[in-house]
Chains A and B, each alone.
Chain A
Amino acid sequence: MKELILISLLGIFVLALDVLQLRKLTLPAIVLGLLGLMACCALDWNRNEQPFLEYGGMLLFDNTSLAFTFVFSFLALLWFLITRDQFATDAKRSDLYALTLFSLCGAVIMASYSSLVTLFLGIEILSIPLYVLAASDKRSVRSNEAGFKYFFLGSLASAILLFGIALVYGATGSFDLATIAAAGQSNSSLISIGCLMMLAGFAFKISAAPFHMWAPDVYQGSPTVYTAFMSTVVKGAAFAGMFKLFAIAFNDFTESHRSVFVAMIVLTLLWANVVGMRQTNIKRLLAYSGISHAGFMLAFVMLGASSDPKWLIYYVLTYSIASMIAFVIVNYVESYHLGMEDQDGFKGLVKKNPTLAIAMTLSLLSMAGLPPLSGFMGKYIIIGQCMRADLIGLTIIMILTSVVAMFYYLRIIMLMFTPLENAGRIIPEKGQMWIIGIGSVLIIALFFGASIFEIIQW
């Protein structure tokens, strides 16, 4: 419970600092707060806290949710540090920081709900600040469009999710996950349809096909720093919520409707990689890459109780670090090419700034899943689990689409290492270059970190 209280108070504290004209303290306060949040997760480990049980409870901080919370706060910390320069001159950064923190609060709820009511509140707290952040570049038409599109489609997805919750409540008379799990889901058509509608709502949030249409437009239009946040923390939070719902509470449903999940994964992987190949805008390309990774992560949910949540956490962590670094580098490059985020801006990047080019190469190769990088380990684990579950067709499609994806990642890498006659402006090294460095090291180190995950038992 103290995690949730801490993160909410941190958001309010940032707003208060703005009122008190102490904007210099904002970032140090956030960094301290997020470190505190990570410490709280470590302190509560193994406690399985269910706060205010005498008042109906509705939250459960078990080890899985604490691990997710830890990962989210780590990613948020990385995000705040890595985007520091972007906000240095922004007079209204307190509002934006506060909204980001509120969104993180929603992510914490998504990891630790134990009732459909808190699930819905979590999803809304996660999304509503994001609609604003997507539209936060008020002078850009693209950003306005992205915010609007995200808001309308997101509201529709929330409505469908809520309808599903209502049907499940109507059939079982309870919001509590444990009660619904005990009732079983395969014997009642009402619960099945409720679950399917909730699945559709979630598929929108994780941008899985056929509910992914918004992702490229929103990722492209939003200011790139928030795209980095959206494709990492927010996607991870949606998966945390989804795993808890479909793999643990609705395990019956997931088992009996496995074909629905398989169809969604296959469609997601094929669509994302085939359409992704034809993108020339790097933000759209990364959005399609995110969609295809959503397909892989959805497989963890599909396998349900037979898959361990720690591998999903591992996948979320490795994908998020690579994706965040890629988007932040796109942000750098486009800020030196006057808002041009087309792939041409990356031509000959190795001459303009070798550090950026190498970090970008590492993160793209990690997303592609090349062996010495952590992205490979994530894909290896999920493909292995699908094999063990006798889903041979799905496994073959996963491997084939990974190869196709490799093609468009390599195209960007080739572009960066193409020599240019007139290199143009050199992109200067900046203060937070070291964070990109640390991130790149993490991409490599987490490859071996998989064995640490193997050791941790919970």
Chain B
Amino acid sequence: MLTEYAFWFLTFVAIFSAMGMILSKNPVYSVLSLIVTFFAIAGHYFLLNAQFLAAVHIIVYAGAIMVLFLYVIMMLNLNKVDEEKRSIWSKAAAAASFGILLLVVSAAIGHGHAQSELQSVADTSAIGTTETLGLSLYKEFLIPFEISSVLFLAAMVGAVYLSKKEQYN
């Protein structure tokens, strides 16, 4: 019962803060409401027994990425309300296309649920623990794990290249 209340509470917080993120004119408020959304989603992970994922989510998203966002906004001095005016047509087109996408995806998920093709996992208590995650990361997902090192190396070399000072001569 308690988990159900927690679920509804977190869901409302997540949806309303996500809307606040889009609707607020001030970029700093946007970032702050996005942090609230991230915390609410981390709460959902907890309810799904994914403690490790919840912790990582908060550390990476609410911690690192959001601090970076805030830093950039303050550095570029974007906190003034000087949003670029877009034409009503482009707004309408964006709203319509993503609205259709939302409709189709939710219909498909509802339809899929009716077909009961979503397999429900019987025992969820051990799924999200660090131990299970670590075991599957180094067993089933060993190759992707190793391959991702190339990705990070490439991203690192690229970041260093772009931020290196150019010598003008």
Contact = CB atoms under 8 A, between A and B. Distances in A.
A145 to B, nearest CB: 14
A139 B161 contact: no
Contact of A193 (B104, B117, B141, B148): B104
B158 interface: yes
Contacts of B141: 56, 58, 117
Contact of B142 (A52, A132, A188): A52
A47 interface: no
Interface stretch (A166-174, A303-311, A403-411, A449-457): A166-174
A192 interface: yes
Interface of B: 104-105, 107-109, 111-112, 115, 117-119, 139-144, 147-148, 150-151, 153-155, 157-162, 164, 166
Given A95-B157, A190-B109, A121 B148 contact: yes
Contacts of A105: 150
A128 interface: yes
Contacts of A171: 112, 117-118
B69 to A, nearest CB: 15
Q: Which 8 A-B pairs have the closest CB atoms?
A: A132-B158, A102-B154, A190-B112, A56-B140, A55-B142, A189-B108, A95-B161, A193-B108
Interface residues of A, number: 45
Interface of B is mostly: helix
A193 B105 contact: yes
A129 B141 CA distance: 24
Interface in A38-82: 51-52, 55-59
Contacts of B112: 171, 188-190
A138 B151 contact: no
A55 B140 contact: yes
Given A58-B144, A189-B108, 12 more contacts: A8-B150, A11-B150, A11-B154, A52-B142, A55-B142, A56-B140, A102-B157, A125-B154, A128-B154, A132-B158, A188-B117, A190-B117
Contacts of A131: 158
A98 interface: yes
Contacts of A125: 147, 150-151, 154
A183 to B, nearest CB: 9
B79 to A, nearest CB: 22
A422 to B, nearest CB: 33
Contacts of B140: 55-56
A59 B143 CA distance: 8
Interface of A: 4, 8, 11-12, 15, 51-52, 55-59, 92, 95-96, 98-99, 102-103, 105, 109, 115, 117-118, 121-122, 124-125, 128-129, 131-132, 135-136, 138-139, 167, 170-171, 173, 188-190, 192-193
B157 A15 contact: yes
Contact of B118 (A8, A135, A170, A192): A170
Contact of A121 (B142, B144, B157, B159): B144
Contacts of A193: 104-105, 108
A235 B107 CA distance: 34
Contacts of B143: 51-52, 55-59, 118
B161 A190 contact: no
Contact of B108 (A99, A135, A192): A192
Nearest to A132: B158
Given A56-B140, A170-B118, A98 B157 contact: yes
A121 B149 CA distance: 10
B144 A129 contact: no
Contacts of B160: 95
A138 B166 contact: yes
A129 B162 CA distance: 11
Contacts of A95: 157, 160-161
Nearest to B105: A193
Given A52-B143, A171-B118, A193-B108, A124 B166 contact: no
A34 B115 CA distance: 50
Nearest to B101: A197
